[in-house]
Amino acid sequence: MSDSITETEPRTLGTSPAPITAAPMMAAPITAAPITAAPITAAPVRAPQTASALTLQNLRALLTGETLVLHISGFRHPDDAQQLTQKMIDHAQFERYFRAPDIGVQRTGMTFFETNGSDDLLLRYYEEALLGTRTLRQVCSPRLSPVDQLRLELGDLWLEGLRNENAHGRPMLAGIGRVFENGFELPPHQDILARDLRDATQPPLANHQPLLRQFSANIYLRPAAQGGELEIWDFTPSFQEQEGLRDREFQYEGIIARTALPAPTVVIDPQPGDLILFDSSCIHAVRASQGGPRVSMSLFIGYRGPNQPLTYWN
Ligand X SMILES: O=C(O)CCC(=O)C(=O)O
Q: Least separation, in Å, of the C-beta of 190 and Fe ion?
A: 7
- The CA distances from residue 116 to 102, 189, 234, in Å, are 17, 16, 27
User: Of the listed pieces 45-53, 111-119, 245-253, 280-288, which binds ligand X according to CB under 6 A?
Assistant: 280-288
Q: Identify the DSSP state of 246.
A: B
Closest residue to ligand X: CB criterion: 216
Residue 256: contacted member of ligand X, Fe ion, none (CB under 5 to 8 Å, by partner type): none
How far, in whole angstroms, is CA 235 from its chain's centroid?
A: 15
Site string for Fe ion, 67-106 (x = CB under 5 A): ----------------------------------------
Give the three-class secondary structure for 69: strand
Q: Least separation, in Å, of the C-beta of 280 and ligand X?
A: 5
CA distance 246 to 35: 8
Q: Least separation, in Å, of the C-beta of 277 and ligand X?
A: 10
CA distance 313 to 193: 10
Q: Least separation, in Å, of the C-beta of 16 and ligand X?
A: 28
Question: Residue 80 or 242: which CB sits closer to Fe ion?
Answer: 242
- Parallel, antiparallel or unpaired: strands 266-268 and 230-232: antiparallel
Q: What are phi and psi of 26, to 5 degrees?
A: -70, 155
Question: Residue 32 or 59: which CB sits closer to ligand X?
Answer: 59
CA distance 91 to 138: 9
User: Is the Cβ–Cβ distance between 105 and 184 less than 8 Å?
Assistant: yes
138-158: b (≥16 Cβ within 10 Å) or e: ebbeeeebbbbbbbebbeebb
Task: Indicate whether 5 belongs to the interface with ligand X (CB under 6 A).
Answer: no
Task: Indicate whether 111 belongs to the interface with ligand X (CB under 6 A).
Answer: no
Task: Indicate whether 229 belongs to the interface with Fe ion (CB under 5 A).
Answer: no
Residue 84: contacted member of ligand X, Fe ion, none (CB under 5 to 8 Å, by partner type): none
Beta strands across the sheet bearing 230-232: 186-189, 284-286, 230-232, 266-268
- Selected from 154, 173, 212, 230, the binder of ligand X by CB under 6 A is 230
Residue 135: contacted member of Fe ion, ligand X, none (CB under 5 to 8 Å, by partner type): none
Residues 66-85 touching ligand X, rule: CB under 6 A, are none
Task: Indicate whether 255 belongs to the interface with ligand X (CB under 6 A).
Answer: no
> 57: which residues sit within 8 A by CB, 6+ positions away?
none
Residues 167-226 touching ligand X, rule: CB under 6 A, are 186, 191, 216, 218
Task: Indicate whether 114 belongs to the interface with Fe ion (CB under 5 A).
Answer: no
Residues 166-195 touching Fe ion, rule: CB under 5 A, are 191
The residues that touch Fe ion, with contacts defined as CB under 5 A, are 191
The residues that touch ligand X, with contacts defined as CB under 6 A, are 186, 191, 216, 218, 230, 280, 284, 286, 296, 298
